[in-house]
Amino acid sequence: MGVRGLQGFVGSTCPHICTVVNIRELAEHHRTKYPGHTPTIVVDAMCCLRYWYTPDSWICGGQWREYFSALRDFVAAFESAGIKLIFFFDGMVEPGKRDEWVKRRLKNNREISKIFHYIKSKRDQPGRNMFFIPSGLAIFTRFALKSLGQETFCSLQEADYEVAAYGLQHHCLGILGEDTDYLIYDTCPYLSIGDLCLETLETVMLCRETLCESLGLHVADLPLLACLLGNDITPEGMFESFRYKCLSSYASVKENAGKKGNIILAVSDYISKVLHLYQGEKKIEELLPLGPNKALFYKGVTSYLLPGQTSPWLVQKPKVVITDKQVASLNPEPKQEVPMCVDPESKQDVPVCTDPESMQEVPMCTDPESKQEIPMCTDPESKQEIPMCTDPESKREASMCPYPEDKQKLPSETEAQLNVQVLMCMHPEIKQEDTMDLEPEIKQVTMVSESEVLKAARMHHVHSESYLVYNIMSSGEIECSNTLEDELDQALPSQAFIYRPVRQRVYSLLLGDWKDGASTGPVVKEWFVYPGNSLRHPDLVRPLQMTVQGGTPSLEVLWLSQEPAAQARRLDSLLACFNLSSSKEELQAIESPLRALCCLLIYLFVQVDTLSLEDLHAFIAQALCLQGKSTSQLVNLQLDYINSRAVQLGSLLVRGLTMLVLVNSACGFPWTTSEFMPWNVFDGKLFHQKYLQSEKGYAVEVLLEQNRSWLTKFHNLKAVVCKACSKESRRIVGRTHWNTHYTGRLGRQGSSSHRTGSTHGHPGQGQPWRDQGSGGRQYEHDQWRRY
């Protein structure tokens, strides 16, 4: 994340840009500067997950009660200082950053392999130096913060851009995170989460102005520096030869800076002494070896430009100032001069008008075809610049603002479009087809046509109320990061395969009717990490037709209807996604929050034949015992040793809880989210304890800690799961009853209506589930029905 080498450079060569500050004192100063406004810190939540996860145990699936308590303490510390927190989470991976995402996931795979090797050799949890965040941590953190009354947003593009834009537009006290990109954005101060002391609210503030003084640069030069050094958009190797050329001619090499530090100093020196000399006189491509990477370079620079900002490296010096008479047609304030920038190719003047409300400069582009000026309007609510297009039929100007009725003060995805359009005006040599690569994420074709339904999906996404639904409907592309899965364990299939039929039925619900086996129809790109997947291409997954009692309801009914009968339709749809319609009465009789867990257990035990009666006992016992445990009791719980299979089962269940979030939001929220929040139904260490006890053959009474009141509930839950599984010809037995040759790697014949067999292996052929190959295949049927 961030700018390559900048974090180390700041720590070793420029430590003076880091200042220890007291956030309480900063808040008091902010109140004086902005009377009547609550000091606000915008938090890059994805950077903070490791800081927030303080429990000692992380290997068993997550200590969710402890984690929730840590989040509550974090929020309370800021509330006691009168500081408001605004949290942002990554909502999607931009196509231009997919390669970097894949690179990190493959690196994580190697780390996970080392973790399982350690577990199997030491029978213990590795040290914190091998720490890997529990599955689903980012997803459930959103809901935890919302339940704590915090304002939480999910981004529509890269989260760091929206964080920086929000901080600038709302005069925030600072940005709390751990990403050197926040040194590059010209926004509010950057505060380090890694150096935060919660008791005193002291942390380190990194000052971009001081950084510029040390490098001899202006703040507006930082995006250029970031791209030349390498970031998530411009690969590190893109300007490698240029950087070494700068280093070879750099006369002030510092011994204590190291090679990377001296490269940063050398590139900065070149910018300040060479590029500044010709700035505005020559085009940037004449000064830098851009070659075929010109569009990518421009994309990198513009990615740091927040609403209302421009880069001096993308325009030439203004040479003409138009008259007051000309201004009058653009601006009601006739005495204000409007600067002009010159198109470097056509030499035409490109006027810049000023918004009378915000006093911000608003660029005017010229349509290269019609030569008409295209003004950029400003959203009166968000103060964001939005390009105006002209209807060729009516000649009326129409705002390109998506959902102008939306009053949320959030950074819009149109900002990226604005940057590209202004760039094309300034650099007409960049063709329209070049911008397809420049900003692929904004050339997105939605899978679902514009409607109230799509607006509702977007609203739930932005407000962190749903999971993956808007991604499926808007781009047809989703991802799931690494899970603690042992690639050498052939008996347990990956969670990506186990829960794929659920996702396929959700696709059918969200993307419309189609028939199984149809040659055409919607395809969802799944970037799911699982052992053996090289991630060179996504898996292409088609919807799976689902059977809902009374017919599949429309999204309008599920999401927008206020009719009393709609709630029953929502529940029917949820159960149908898990293929559990026949168990509706039994599940409805179970009290919350065990109902959702029971639903998930039925699905898991039907899908995975290698789950045993001992596993079922452990899952149910831990859920019941959790209801009577305090957080301190869970903290003090000690395990005899760590079992690698139990580690996988813990992560498998938590991933299943995230699938419940997906299905519940896709079906219109028939259940409250608290029913499948892990701190209500799962604790990693507690499950591990029950697993070890069950594996040793302990009686149910021992698993339930001799609590007779839980015994009846235990047998009721077990009966519901076993009965539902028997309907699918799945008999749950103890491990002593397994055949010696049985490994669970093979598809199993049975009576399931969707059991069609796999195109990559058939019963009796001995093909291991871990060898499913990489993405790029199309999956149409419920071929992963049994393992």
Mean pLDDT of the chain: 80
**Cα separation, 92 vs 256, whole angstroms:** 40
**Cα separation, 379 vs 386, whole angstroms:** 7
Q: What is the pLDDT of residue 12?
A: 79
Most confident of 26-30, 90-94, 154-158, 412-416: 26-30
Q: Evaluate if residue 593 carries a pLDDT over 80.
A: yes
Task: List the one residue out of 785, 786, 781 whose CA is nearest residue 744.
Answer: 786
Digit-coded pLDDT (tens) for 207-238: 999 999 999 999 999 999 999 999 888 888 89
Task: List the one residue out of 509, 464, 522 whose CA is nearest residue 156.
Answer: 464
Cα 437 to the center of its chain, rounded Å: 22
Q: What is the pLDDT of residue 399?
A: 33
Residue with the bigger pLDDT between 317 and 541: it is 541
**Cα separation, 462 vs 408, whole angstroms:** 9
Lowest-confidence range among 47-51, 122-126, 261-265, 742-746?
742-746
**Cα separation, 646 vs 624, whole angstroms:** 18
E-strand stretches of 249-407: 320-321, 339-342, 349-354, 361-366, 373-378, 385-390, 397-399
Note every long-range contact of 354-360, with CB atoms under 8 Å and residues 24 or more positions apart, other chains counting.
356/331, 356/332, 357/383, 358/308, 358/383, 360/308, 360/385
**Cα separation, 681 vs 708, whole angstroms:** 20
Residue with the bigger pLDDT between 623 and 273: it is 623
Q: What is the pLDDT of residue 374?
A: 37
Measured CA angle at 396 (ends 394, 398), to 5 deg: 120
Asked whether the CA dihedral 166, 167, 169, 170 is positive or negative, the reply is positive
Q: Evaluate if residue 355 carries a pLDDT over 60.
A: no
Q: What is the three-class DSSP state of 352?
A: strand
Q: Evaluate if residue 747 carries a pLDDT over 90.
A: no
- Residue 256 pLDDT grade (very low, low, confident, very high; cuts 50, 70, 90): low
If you ran DSSP here, which 8-state letter would residue 553 be given?
A: P
**Cα separation, 110 vs 486, whole angstroms:** 11
Cα 212 to the center of its chain, rounded Å: 31
Task: List the one residue out of 187, 737, 3, 114 whose CA is nearest residue 487.
Answer: 114
Give me the sheet containing 361-366, strands edge to edge. Answer: 320-321, 339-342, 349-354, 361-366, 373-378, 385-390, 397-399
Q: What is the pLDDT of residue 493?
A: 94
Digit-coded pLDDT (tens) for 151-169: 999 999 889 999 999 999 9
Lowest-confidence range among 53-57, 405-409, 757-761?
757-761
Give me the sheet containing 18-22, strands edge to edge. Answer: 18-22, 202-206, 190-192, 174-177, 40-44, 84-89, 151-154
**Cα separation, 484 vs 117, whole angstroms:** 12
- Residue 778 pLDDT grade (very low, low, confident, very high; cuts 50, 70, 90): low
User: What are 192's strand-pairing partners?
Assistant: 177
What are the residue ranges of helices labelled H in 636-781? Answer: 644-666, 678-681, 684-695, 700-703, 708-727
Token pair in block for residue 41: 């810190």
**Cα separation, 567 vs 487, whole angstroms:** 42
- Residue 513 pLDDT grade (very low, low, confident, very high; cuts 50, 70, 90): low
Q: What is the pLDDT of residue 384?
A: 42
- Residue 450 pLDDT grade (very low, low, confident, very high; cuts 50, 70, 90): low
Q: What is the pLDDT of residue 623?
A: 97
Q: Quick one: which H or E segment has residue 379?
A: none
Q: What is the pLDDT of residue 473?
A: 95
Q: What is the pLDDT of residue 14?
A: 82
Token pair in block for residue 540: 């292409």
Matching residue, tokens 């705002």:
399
The strand pair at 349-354 and 361-366 is best described as antiparallel
Backbone angle region of 532, left / alpha / beta, with phi > 0 → left and psi within -120 to 50 → alpha: left
Digit-coded pLDDT (tens) for 35-76: 999 999 999 999 999 999 999 999 999 999 999 999 999 999
Other beta carbons within 10 angstroms of residue 588's beta carbon come to 10
Most confident of 235-249, 299-313, 649-663: 649-663
Q: Evaluate if residue 410 carries a pLDDT over 80.
A: no
Q: Are 438 and 297 in contact (CB under 8 A)?
A: no
Q: Are 786 and 750 in contact (CB under 8 A)?
A: yes
Asked whether the CA dihedral 91, 95, 96, 97 is positive or negative, the reply is positive
- Residue 738 pLDDT grade (very low, low, confident, very high; cuts 50, 70, 90): low
Digit-coded pLDDT (tens) for 610-631: 999 999 999 999 999 999 999 9
Question: Which residues, other chains included, contact 324 with Cβ-Cβ below 8 Å and sequence gap of 6+?
Answer: 334, 335, 337
Token pair in block for residue 70: 């840590």
Q: What is the pLDDT of residue 490?
A: 87
Backbone angle region of 26, left / alpha / beta, with phi > 0 → left and psi within -120 to 50 → alpha: alpha
Q: What is the pLDDT of residue 745?
A: 34
Q: Quick one: which H or E segment has residue 273?
A: none
